[in-house]
Amino acid sequence: MNKIQLIVALLVAAFSLFSYFGSSSLNPITGEKQRVAGMTPKDEVAMGLQSAPQMAQQMGGLSQDARARALVSQVGAKVVAQSVAAKSGYPFKFHTLADPRTVNAFALPGGQIFITMALLSRLETEGQLAGVLGHEVGHVLARHSAEHIAKEQLTQGLTGAFAMGAGSMDAAQIGRVVGQMAMMKYGRDDELEADSLGLRLMSEAGYDPRGLIKVMQILERSSGGSRQPEFASSHPSPANRVQKINEVIARAFPNGVPAGLTP
């Protein structure tokens, strides 16, 4: 390794760090300052719209069950329209995927929300569906995708600088693993934040927040005991999430969950 190589590596690392830490954006929904690498909500919407058809195709396309599609769209629209999500400006759209085996729901940047028939068919109440969709809307409102893109750019920049300075691809691979481990922690935190936001959204829309606890129990049963240890997973264990959900509900409703909410 020569001096010029080291200087260039340090400059690359410094630029990556400055790009990430040098600017922040205030999230009007969560009130948090976020590092999103200059990505705007409009950019997120465009990215989500572009990716949505491909994501649907990868999971068997959209469901042909018209009643299922209508239910998902109606509950999703209610969660958005009757909660703080309505003020976000994101054009939310809810998709039901035909996949009968993969128990999953996810959100693309900008408001494209998906749930598989495998998960939908396991849900027992409208409130449970509202909990799933509210959780995914929470990811969008918290701008988790934009945060992850910014972190990935930082990781790539530092990995490149590390490889340049060490003069070894093996060193680059080590740096990449370190970056991935750091991203895992953020993934777990994101899930817990989305749970908290989802509880808020579904409650504001008139749904009993305890429905999300039932969702966690359904996910636990669906896993068949084959989950990875929480340390090596981007998702907290359902048991851990139930504990956190109960804590959020207790703070939001210190006198107990009001009667009359849709289960």
What the block records as the tokens of 91 is 């054009």
Radius of gyration of the chain (CA): 20
> CA-to-CA distance for 196 and 128, rounded, in angstroms?
15
Percent of the chain with pLDDT over 90: 62
Q: Please determine, for residue 88, whether its predicted confidence score (pLDDT) is greater than 60.
A: yes
* Mean predicted confidence (pLDDT) in 13-31: 78
Q: How confident is the model at residue 228 (pLDDT cuts 50, 70, 90)?
A: low
- pLDDT computed for residue 149 by the predictor: 82
What is the per-residue pLDDT across 47-79, written as a single tens digit (0 to 9) for each? 999 999 999 998 999 999 999 999 999 999 999
- Indicate which residues carry an active-site annotation: 136
Helical packing angle, 169-204 and 211-223, nearest 10° = 140
Q: Which of 163, 159, 166, 164 is nearest to 180 (CA)?
A: 159
**pTM for the full predicted model:** 0.85
> CA-to-CA distance for 21 and 38, rounded, in angstroms?
11
Q: Which of 145, 136, 24, 123 is nearest to 85 (CA)?
A: 136
What is the per-residue pLDDT across 116-159, written as a single tens digit (0 to 9) for each? 999 999 999 999 999 999 999 999 999 998 898 888 777 776 67
What is the per-residue pLDDT across 147-205, written as a single tens digit (0 to 9) for each? 988 887 777 766 776 666 666 545 555 455 545 544 455 588 899 999 999 999 999 99
Per-domain boundaries in the chain: 3-252
Total number of residues shown for the chain:
263
